[in-house]
Each structure stands twice: as C-alpha cells, then as structure tokens.
Amino acid sequence: MALTKEALQALVALQQRDKFLDSIQKEIDAVPPRIAALKADLEGEKRHMDAAKAKILELEKKKKSKELDVAAKEEAARKHSSQLNELKSNDAYKTMQAEIEAEKKAAGDIETEILQIMEDIDKAKQEEKAAVAEFKKTEEFSKKDLEKLEAELSHAKGRFETAKTERDAVAAGVAASEMKVYNHIRSRGKLDAVVPAVGGHCGSCQITLTPGLSLELAKLKSLVTCESCQRILYKPEALAATPA
Ligand SMILES: [Zn+2]
C-alpha cells in the first residue's frame, strides 16, 4: 500500500492522542472502586453501630427476664412462708423452711446477676455512643470524599470527551487501510502500535531489523511492521525531515 510521510505522521499523532485518551480512561476507571471502598467503610461502621444497639436491647431483655425470675422466687418464698404455720410435722416444717431459704438465696443470686447485667448495659451504652460517633465522623468524611470523587469523575469524563473529539479529528486523517493495521495491533494489547526504529532495532522489542526492512523504512513507500512484534515502524529522522 502506498504510504506518505504525512500518513505516517498522522499515525504517530493518532497514537499520542490515543495514549492520552487511555490515561484519562485509566483515571475514570480508578474512581468507581474508590467510591465502592468508601461505601463499604461506611457500611462497616453502620453494622458496628447497629450491633452495639442490638446488644443493649438484648441485655435489657435479659435484665427484664431476670427481674421476673426474682419476682417469681420472692413470690414463692412469700407463699411458702404463709403456709409454714399450717404444717403439722416438724420435718415438713424444716423441709419447707429450707425451701424458703433456697428460694430467697436464688432471688439474691439473680439480683447479683442483674447488677452485673446493669454494668454490662452501661458498658454497652458507652460502646454504642462511641460507635455512633465513629459512624457520624465516617459519614461526614465519606460524604466529602464522595463529592470530591464524583467531581473528579465528571471532570475526567469531560476531559475524555474533549480529547476524544480531538482524537477523532486526527483519526480522520489516517487512511482506512493503515487504521486497520493500527487498530489490530492495539486490539492485541500493544497500545504502542507505532514505534520508532532506532539504530537498526525495533524501538519496542529491540530486534535487529533486516537490511531489507531498513531499506523499506528509509524509502517511506509502504507501511513497515516489525517481523518480531508486528508493531508499525518508522524512522524518526525521516518524519522530522522537512520536504524539499
Ligand atoms: Zn518489534
């Protein structure tokens, strides 16, 4: 295919534009994971806060149940005390008295447990207060960070659109056949599709170019690709030279 110096220059210019676009795209792609990480952080703090609240409720429920147990034991002791005088035998009296003592002791033990639960509730309330403060702090910070990231994203998208328009204008100056080769190389992950040949070597894979290939390059008559890495080659000095 016929090639002109201008066509090769257009390809090099296109690659510069594409690299610029790639760098902006990279910035754009980096934002969503950062937003997700912020949201995950906040979710974590919220779970922590909810767990602290749930713990208080659970302890209060436990306390209530223990209070009912105390009341039941005390009621049983009262009832049995009132029955003491009705008992005829000494043995029955002693047995009942022991039972009453056991009920009173059980009520006392449960009271001790309740005191411990009340201490636990105090502790849980402090933990909850700290968790709420931590959540609010994180919420405030992440709100600011989110706004910053969203502004960054929208700014990057705007820059991308501008750069894309400029890139497309440059691409319009590249012939379809050359564009096909260029796109094919880039689609295989070689984003530097056009590389200079320096000192008889491919500027990318460094392989020594055959004399025939070097001659083709100097002629600037057709598109030359590296035999090893398939990238499009050009001679920087040939592109820089001013036409006669
Ligand atoms: Zn190469």
**Residue 68 CB coordination number (10 Å):** 11
Q: Which whole number is the average pLDDT over 150-167? A: 97
CA distance 133 to 126: 11
Q: What is the pTM of this model?
A: 0.73
Domains and CATH numbers, the chain: 21-171 (1.10.287), 176-240 (no CATH)
Vertex 166: Cα angle to 165 and 168 (nearest 5): 65
CA of 10 to the centre of ligand 1 (A): 20
CA of 194 to the centre of ligand 1 (A): 10
N- to C-terminal Cα distance for the chain? 23
- Higher-confidence residue of 163 and 7: namely 163
Asked whether the predicted pLDDT for residue 161 surpasses 60, the reply is yes
Please say whether the dihedral angle defined by the alpha carbons of residues 39, 44, 45 and 47, taken in this order, is positive or negative: positive
Asked whether the predicted pLDDT for residue 240 surpasses 70, the reply is yes
CA of 21 to the centre of ligand 1 (A): 24
pLDDT digits (tens, 9 = 90+) for 128-156: 999 999 999 999 999 999 999 999 999 99
CA distance 224 to 1: 10
Tokens of 223: 């598109």
Q: Which whole number is the average pLDDT over 30-59? A: 96
Share of the chain above pLDDT 90, in %: 86
pLDDT digits (tens, 9 = 90+) for 179-232: 999 999 999 999 999 999 999 999 999 999 999 999 999 888 889 999 999 999
CA of 39 to the centre of ligand 1 (A): 45
Which protein residues have their CB within 5 A of the ion that is ligand 1?
Answer: 202, 204-205, 226, 228-229
- Higher-confidence residue of 2 and 208: namely 208
pLDDT of res. 242: 54
pLDDT digits (tens, 9 = 90+) for 71-116: 999 999 999 999 998 988 999 999 999 999 999 999 999 999 999 9
DSSP string, 139-207: HHHHHHHHHHHHHHHHHHHHHHHHHHHHHHHHHTTS-HHHHHHHHHHHHTT-S--EEEEETTEETTT-P
- The kind and range of the H/E element at 4 are none
Q: Which amino acid is at 151?
A: A
Please say whether the dihedral angle defined by the alpha carbons of residues 52, 54, 56 and 58, taken in this order, is positive or negative: negative
CA of 27 to the centre of ligand 1 (A): 29
CA of 196 to the centre of ligand 1 (A): 10
CA of 176 to the centre of ligand 1 (A): 23
pLDDT of res. 2: 63
Distance of CA 16 to the CA centre of its chain: 31
Mean pLDDT taken over the chain: 94
